[in-house]
């Protein structure tokens, strides 16, 4: 405590005590008013419009760009449209501008490329897979006799198509015979006739309905007179009928381009 008293000067303590005594002796004065200050003004809120009203004028006035030098004449402006600038589109009215902006030209080029690729793939597949490659005409014949060259190519292509169709028919016949043999084996050994999920070969009598069986029909195509027109219709109908892998008779549908 002695050290604290030595640090604080005595004159300052005496002055502070006198100020406190003087404040206690002075009367307190209070100003009371009955009027209240006005409330702060409310912020201004714009009325909500019924619809969007675009501004009638831009925020800034559109000023044309000012380039140094005198203004260009009309003749100079027209010359600029036909002038070729580096790394830019060709001028309007030129052949390159028409070639680059014409859609019909681009469609024609695209279709030509696609058709040429299709023809190249088809020709290469036919040329390297046909068994009648030795019957194809030599390439030198195209310049001397072009029509005969194309005719021989067409005849060889028809032979190739017939050969492919015969191979497909033979494979289909082998599969049908295999199904029929398995069905006969199951029937001979007393197994279930339906096989897995009821898929098996059926005879012509099994495919007939009860009405045809009671009527005495012996098959899907009963015997008729060969000289009658009905026989011609029946033979034509048999040509468009084939047996599927399940041994059922199906009507051959006409295909477009051999695909659909």
Residue 164 pLDDT class (50, 70, 90 cuts): very high
More confident residue, 199 or 70: 70
Beta pairing class for 249-251 and 241-243: antiparallel
**CA distance linking residue 194 with residue 172, whole number of Å:** 21
pLDDT at 155 (0 to 100): 94
Asked, for residue 17, whether it belongs to a domain, the answer is no
Asked, for residue 228, whether it belongs to a domain, the answer is yes
Residue 230 pLDDT class (50, 70, 90 cuts): very low
pLDDT at 222 (0 to 100): 46
Residue 75: exposure state from Cβ atoms within 10 A (0-12, 13-18, ≥19): exposed
Say how many domains are in the chain.
1
Asked, for residue 247, whether it belongs to a domain, the answer is yes
More confident residue, 242 or 249: 249
**Contact between 187 and 193 (Cβ < 8 Å):** yes
Where are any strands of DSSP class E within 102-169?
none
CA 174 vs. chain centroid, Å, equals 40
Asked, for residue 210, whether it belongs to a domain, the answer is yes
Asked, for residue 235, whether it belongs to a domain, the answer is yes
**CA distance linking residue 178 with residue 191, whole number of Å:** 17
Asked, for residue 223, whether it belongs to a domain, the answer is yes
Asked, for residue 218, whether it belongs to a domain, the answer is yes
**CA distance linking residue 189 with residue 183, whole number of Å:** 10
More confident residue, 31 or 66: 66
Range of the domain at 252: 202-258
The model's pLDDT over 125-142, given as tens digits with 9 standing for 90+, comes to: 999 999 998 999 998 898
Asked, for residue 1, whether it belongs to a domain, the answer is no
The model's pLDDT over 41-92, given as tens digits with 9 standing for 90+, comes to: 888 888 888 888 887 777 777 788 888 888 889 999 888 888 888 888 898 8
**CA distance linking residue 95 with residue 201, whole number of Å:** 70
Percent of the chain whose pLDDT exceeds 70: 66
**CA distance linking residue 67 with residue 70, whole number of Å:** 8
């Amino acid at each position: 405590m002695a050290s604290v008293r030595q640090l604080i000067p005595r004159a300052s303590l005496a002055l502070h005590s006198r100020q406190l005594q003087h404040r206690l002796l002075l009367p307190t004065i209070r100003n009371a008013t009955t009027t209240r200050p006005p409330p702060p003004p409310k912020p201004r809120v714009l009325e909500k419009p019924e619809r969007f009203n675009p501004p009638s004028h831009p925020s800034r006035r559109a000023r044309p760009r000012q380039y140094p030098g005198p203004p260009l004449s009309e003749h100079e402006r027209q010359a600029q449209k036909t002038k070729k600038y580096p790394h830019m589109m060709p001028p309007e009215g030129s052949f390159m501008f028409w070639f680059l902006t014409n859609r019909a030209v681009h469609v024609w080029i695209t279709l030509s490329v696609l058709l040429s690729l299709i023809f190249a793939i088809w020709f290469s597949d036919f040329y390297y897979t046909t068994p009648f490659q030795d019957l194809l005409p030599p390439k030198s014949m195209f310049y001397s006799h072009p029509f005969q060259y194309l005719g021989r190519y067409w005849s060889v292509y028809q032979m190739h198509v017939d050969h492919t169709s015969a191979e497909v028919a033979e494979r289909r016949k082998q599969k049908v015979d295999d199904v029929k043999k398995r069905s006969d084996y199951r029937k001979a050994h007393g197994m279930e006739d339906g096989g897995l999920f009821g898929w098996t070969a059926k005879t012509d009598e099994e495919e007939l309905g009860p009405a045809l069986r009671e009527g005495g029909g012996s098959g899907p195509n009963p015997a008729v007179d060969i000289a009658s027109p009905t026989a011609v219709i029946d033979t034509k109908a048999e040509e468009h009928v084939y047996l599927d892998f399940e041994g059922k008779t199906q009507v051959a549908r006409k295909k477009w381009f051999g695909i659909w």
